[in-house]
Structure 1
């Protein structure tokens, strides 16, 4: 193989490795963060209009699916306890940070009012299904044949757990 071909292949391999490392490095912090900040840029409108506008920003949490709990076999039941298992999800409620100017009635300057509601953790379970067959386990008193009974079906209710919070502030200055 000629030296120019070797150099070209080495350059291509080096470029592909650098691109893969850059993609991996960019994906790692995004996956590690639980929420994505969402700024609302109003600086251009503020400068063009010549007035003080509200400052608004937010956070959008990333939902993460969990591993479903497998079926549980219970004594006395022909089918597992949870035919359709509940899927756990973790994420959060969106956050908000807003600060708005209020004109001072008695003198020059501005007073401000603001609200800060940080993203709150949220854990949820999807609905599930529990069913049982209309037959029991084999009964030795009836030569190993199962007994008949009413079929059973139940819906496992979804579950949401969170603790949201917010701060409302008012005062002078920026």
Structure 2
């Protein structure tokens, strides 16, 4: 093998390996669905010399889905959904807050916590359904299609979610 061919093959293999490594490195974050973001309050705790709430947030990553293929039905010249609806999956952001509650007697602390986990949100973009103003070819009319009123419809967007929240108190911080 000539040195130029070897160099070209080495460059191609290096590029493929780098692309594969980049895809593998990016996949855990994309597979998680949400990214945790802590709220740093330690500096304020140290400067004020007191316990502050601990807070964290989860931010969802939207992922587009694949639209349904157009459906051909008998008696129509155009498919049922000429402009298909695009599904998008995302989530509502989640939050977790824990605040200290001082006990009336003693130096210990209890806590009050509020948590709202990130929940899924499924959405469908609007779509369109159209039909031509012609019927199918008619054998009784020498194969000439007949006329009919045109049909047009808008497929409404859809949104579904199931949010949840949790309030709790307990001993310890």
Whether TM exceeds 0.5 here: the answer is: yes
How far is the alpha carbon of 1:98 from its aligned partner? 0.9
Counterpart in the other structure of 1:4: none
1:83 aligns with 2:82: yes
Q: For 1:80-125, what per-residue CA distance to the aligned partner results, in whole angstroms no more than 9, with x for missing partners?
A: 1001001122232211111123444x33444422111111122222
How far is the alpha carbon of 1:72 from its aligned partner? 0.7
1:144 aligns with 2:154: no
TM-score, normalising length: structure 1:
0.79
1:130 aligns with 2:160: no
Q: Unpaired runs of 5+ in structure 2?
A: 1-6
Equivalent pairs counted in the alignment come to 159
CA–CA separation in structure 1 for the residues paired with 2:127 and 2:168? 43
CA–CA separation in structure 1 for the residues paired with 2:124 and 2:22? 33
1:35 aligns with 2:34: yes
TM-score, normalising length: structure 2:
0.79
How far is the alpha carbon of 1:131 from its aligned partner? 1.0
Give the alignment's Cα RMSD to 1 decimal.
Answer: 2.4
SS of residue in 2 equivalent to 1:29: helix
